Amino acid sequence: MKHIQIAPSILSADFSAMGQAVETLQRAGADLIHCDVMDGSFVPNITFGHHMVRDIRKHTSLPLDVHLMIERPERHVENFIKAGADIVTVHHEACGASLKDVLRLIRSLGAKCGAVINPDTPLSAVYGVLEEVDMLLVMSVFPGYGGQKFIPHVLEKTREARAIFDRCNPDADVEIDGGVNLQNCGGIVAAGVNILVAGNTVFCSDDMEGTIAALKRGN
């Protein structure tokens, strides 16, 4: 079983004190920093661009896990990698038939690459890239806003993805994003997920360190 890692989403942070928030996450035991980039087109919300990633990079040595919820991500991946992104994930729904090319572009620029699928997208849509990715990110809410309820049926896809990775790409990670909390994290880990993105669960906690530790334990 792969080591369980927690990637708090800065979408739930106070944007006016982002540097302090990221430093606090690192001290509290986070494993990665999850950066949700939204363009107001692929998803209805707008968050931030590569300049924010560049500024976050100054405040942490943790890997920056940059999730691009944007149209035509191939136009922007280089800027995010230059800004300090260690992992860049792109949506099948945004890339379509060019997904494999975009993933190869990310890797050629020196970052790890990952594919993302929405809750209503079958895993079969990305079968063709699973041998090449460093990560599969399964959305457990529909992307665009934080604080949504977890959609349980997506765990069927994480189980299948883990089984495929075990056969053909054992170093790859399965990440889940959306509605992760202390009540459902055990079942999520049991379904093959080894990286849990958590926003409100971490940032709304009075004991951030304890919450991150509990998420890692699966309780």
Active-site residue numbers? 36, 177
DSSP β-bridge partners for residue 7 = 197
Largest CA distance in the chain: 45
For 43, 129, 141, the CA distances from 145, given in Å and listed in that order, are: 9, 27, 9
d(CA 101, CA 93): 14
Cα–Cα distance for residue pair 66/32, rounded to 1 Å: 10
Please state, in angstroms and rounded to a whole number, the distance separating the CA atoms of residues 110 and 87. 9
Question: Cα angle at 8 between 160 and 149, to 5 degrees?
Answer: 60
Q: What is the distance between the alpha carbons of residues 196 and 126, in angstroms, rounded to a whole number?
A: 20
Which amino acid is residue 155, in one-letter code?
L
Distance, CA of 215 to CA of 218 (rounded, Å) = 5
Nearest to 61 by CA among 112, 22, 87, 88: 22
For residue 210, give both structure tokens: 């304890």
Report the distance separating Cα 31 and Cα 151, nearest Å: 24
